[in-house]
Amino acid sequence: ESKWPKMFWVVMGLKFYSLDVVRDDPTNNVPDSIFSKLGMQLHRRDHHPIGILKNAIYNYFDTTYSGKFDKFDNLFPIVSVKMNFDDVLVPEDHVSRSYNDTYYVDSQTVLRCHTSAHQAELLRKGHTHFLVTGDVYRRDSIDSTHYPVFHQMEGFRVFTPDDWEPSGMDGTSYAAEDLKKCLEGLARHLFGSVEMRWIDTYFPFTDPSFELEIYFQEKWLEVLGCGVTEQEILKRSGKTNNVAWAFGLGLERLAMVLFDIPDIRLFWSSDERFTSQFSKGQLGVKFKPFSKITCYLVFAPLLLSSTENKSYCLSQFPPCYKDMSFWINDYFTENNLCEIVRGVAGDLVEEVRT
Ligand code: FA5
Ligand code: MG
């Protein structure tokens, strides 16, 4: 189910010709700017910050757990509503299921909004220790730490009574403690010392649930969600006497801290001044902002026509205020506005505030 169908690559080659047919479905809310990101797979590029980070996390798991974690980084990002939501117990009326929050290809198919979409399937196949890395898609607000396409790494570990019984703890407390130790160890492996804190939170698929925040650019930045897996998920895959933990890392967020990258849009840049700063296996480098182009607003249309200049130019212009009025109806949502703005102006948009 999760393999990249051969047909998909043909479709990619035909510049989404066939997908355009799919997109005539009235339930499809995926704009071109998002479709064009499918298959980019930044996480599989060894010289890209996201790929370098993925490999560093692999190293941590390989050495800490002597290669016990199975790794997947090429599972197909278009998944069923069942995989994305039902299999991880997301309630029928949860906001994340709405057309406002998730990209639907048709009424039963979505661009996965998290790598948790693959948990149940891999459990059913018998995996008990695994990592899933992939691109995920969300209709979300826009700012320097939010982008509608980003990358996550899912981690999942199943315990048996032999694991927790000797400790004298119950399975859930044992798993929660092990989970925090594992992720704190990962943070030390990646960052050395860094200021971090745990926050209690809620996910439909874990209980208890936590988020880890790291202090970055004078703010607390949420870098991951995690918790002890709901028994129902294990039960459905035939595991009745087990306990498990799971986490979902935001790879861009971690890479921003690791490489000092100030804006999430930079990850999509093909500007050599960005790409040449990173190389395979190099964790220690800090991103050096490149010289900024200054020019008068009157030249902007020329610059805009060159994709190279697109991302870096306009933000350097002196502020220039323009008012625009919209008539809105009951269907208005902030995400719809963000998408219109993103569709027209692409990565030039730094932030949309309402
Ligand atoms: C989830 O997606 C859960 N599936 C994570 C999880 C897995 C919890 C397993 C428990 C067990 P959340 O929506 O909080 O959770 O996203 C996880 C991380 O992705 C966030 O902490 C953040 O680092 C990152 N993230 C979320 N939205 C964006 C975005 N728009 N742009 C960039 N990164 C994002
Ligand atoms: Mg969150």
For residue 313, is pLDDT > 60? no
The torsion angles phi and psi of 279, rounded to 5 degrees, stand at -140, 160
pLDDT (tens digit, 9 = 90+) per residue, 31-85? 988 999 999 999 999 999 999 999 999 999 999 999 999 999 999 999 999 999 9
Calculate what percentage of the chain has a pLDDT beyond 70: 85
* Alpha-carbon torsion angle 71, 215, 255, 81, nearest 10: 50
**283 is written with which tokens?**
């964790």
pTM: 0.84
For residue 302, is pLDDT > 90? no
d(CA 137, CA 77): 9
What SS3 string covers 182-206? HHHHHHHHHHCCCCEEEEEEEECCE
pLDDT (tens digit, 9 = 90+) per residue, 241-256? 999 999 999 999 999 9
How crowded is the C-beta side of 281, counted as CA atoms within 13 Å? 0
d(CA 343, CA 134): 23
Instruction: Output the CA 204–ligand 2 centroid distance in Å.
Output: 12
Question: Measured from the CB, is residue 139 less than 6 Å from ligand 1?
Answer: no
109-111 β-sheet, strand order: 78-80, 109-111, 104-106
Pick from 139, 150, 186, 261 the residue to mutate for probing ligand 1's pocket: most ligand atoms within 8 Å of its CB: 150
Position 350 scores a pLDDT of 76
For residue 197, is pLDDT > 90? yes
Instruction: Output the CA 256–ligand 2 centroid distance in Å.
Output: 17
Protein residue closest via CA to atom 9 of ligand 1: 247
- Domain ranges in the chain? 6-274, 292-348
Question: Measured from the CB, is residue 116 less than 6 Å from ligand 1?
Answer: yes
Position 314 scores a pLDDT of 45
Question: Measured from the CB, is residue 334 less than 6 Å from ligand 1?
Answer: no
d(CA 104, CA 240): 34
Q: Which fold has domain 6-274?
A: BirA Bifunctional Protein; domain 2 (3.30.930)
With bands split at pLDDT 50, 70 and 90, how would you rate the model's confidence at 125? Answer: very high
Ligand 1 atom showing the smallest separation from residue 119 Cα: 9
C-beta atoms surrounding 162 within 10 Å: 7
